Amino acid sequence: MTQTFTLPELNYAYDALAPYIDAKTMEIHHSKHHAGYMKKANAALDGTKWEGKTAKEILTNLDALPTEIKTAARNNVGGFCNHSFFWELMSPNGKKAPVGDLSIALSSEFGSLENFKDKFHTAALKQFGSGWAWLAMKDGNLEVLSTANQDSPLSLGYHRIIGLDVWEHAYYLNYQNRRAEYVDAWWNVLDWAQAEKNFQSGL
Ligand code: MN3
């Protein structure tokens, strides 16, 4: 069986993002949840012509997938790809405020950083059930959006800049039902330097 995807190592220890995200949550999230999406994604693609493709090639072409693997790919390639993106976006030593062109673009699109954060916070809280909040770009315009389950903005034609996992598995051990507290805390571990890199790669 071809391993289309392999689990990326984190660039920091499981306890590095505490107290904002606790070590146990990080360990389970990476070694169980992310690994689970990876295994199911590999199994779904095994023996098909989509084996060995990149997550982006698959997620931007979901309609071209055979019916029998489409849902599994959407959920599990989506889940694999979303989490790989999420780990890279966080750091214990990241830039704590927007830098570079993204900083300028955020102010220009949303009026101020605070307005952007409010909008993102609302998207994260209003996502009913499991899903993600995103800052993404389409046709050069920044947008805040949310997606359900493991749906990727890539499938909707967006380029991803920031993404926050709001599945309960991402925060329940530490925050229980208090999603708003988790979203507030998350700004402390978001690395704006990585967000700027993501922004630049989409220009
Ligand atoms: Mn997750």
Ligand 1 mean position, distance from CA 184 (Å):
17
- In this predicted structure, the answer to whether residue 2 has a pLDDT above a threshold of 90 is no
Q: In this structure, how many other beta carbons lie within 10 angstroms of the beta carbon of residue 28?
A: 15
DSSP for 103-114, please give it: HHHHHHHHSSHH
Q: Are 22 and 69 in contact (CB under 8 A)?
A: no
Ligand 1 mean position, distance from CA 167 (Å):
6
C-alpha 130/C-alpha 143 separation (Å) is 20
pLDDT digits (tens, 9 = 90+) for 143-195: 999 999 999 999 999 999 999 999 999 999 999 999 999 999 999 999 999 99
Ligand 1 mean position, distance from CA 48 (Å):
26
* Beta strand ranges found along the chain (DSSP E): 131-138, 141-148, 159-165
Ligand 1 mean position, distance from CA 130 (Å):
9
pLDDT digits (tens, 9 = 90+) for 63-86: 999 999 999 999 999 999 999 999
Closest among 83, 104, 117 to 188, alpha carbons compared: 117
pLDDT at 1: 65
What is the dihedral sign for C-alpha 31, 37, 43, 48? negative
pLDDT at 189: 98
Q: What is the pTM assigned to this prediction?
A: 0.97
Record the tokens describing residue 2, joined without a space: 């071809």
